[in-house]
Amino acid sequence: MSAMGPGSAWLNGLRRLLLTAWVGSLWGVGYVVAPTLFQIAPSRVLAGEIAGHCFWWVGVIGLVCGALLLPLALTAPPSRDRARGVALVLVLAVGSLLQLFYFQPHIAAIKAAIGPVDPALSPAAALFARWHGFSSVAYLLQSLAGALLVAWGEAPWRGR
């Protein structure tokens, strides 16, 4: 086996690092940073602004990691495990694309129309809640796909 083959220690380490960065950012921001902001920030508007920027970075990290991890996933020998691993990477990648280019712009447009008040106090509260709910469900699906991929360990990359 070559030093750069599908099962090389170098590629396995790179896959693990990319997956750790991607899923770690999802979990860290979504389930630790954002809830903490809403508990300690002086206003919900400020907490939402900061959380929005953090989620933007999660999306960027997801796009970069996905663009690097997908080709690495495809280097494993064809197998059922590889197909499942590639599918999970695609779920994560599509989730990142949806968050960055679909949900976040819609939510930002609603917040811009509302102005500097708590979205819950606005006449557009139902619209904001709907889009926030869609985004939250997509984020949860991404988080679960990431959990499956992390729990699966090396199986998707071995190709057995």
pLDDT of residue 69: 94
What does pLDDT average to over the chain?
90
pLDDT over threshold 80, residue 2:
no
The helix, strand and coil proportions of the chain, stated in percent and rounded to the nearest 5, come to: 85, 0, 15
Cα distances (angstroms) measured from residue 109 to each of 7, 128, 135: 46, 10, 14
Cα distances (angstroms) measured from residue 6 to each of 16, 21, 70, 101: 13, 21, 13, 32
Out of 6-10, 47-51, 115-119, 130-134, pick the least confident.
Answer: 6-10
Cα distances (angstroms) measured from residue 101 to each of 43, 97, 98, 107, 122: 26, 6, 5, 11, 24
CB count, 10 Å around CB of 96?
A: 24
54-66 pLDDT, tens digit per residue, is 999 999 999 999 9
Rounded to two decimals, the pTM is 0.87
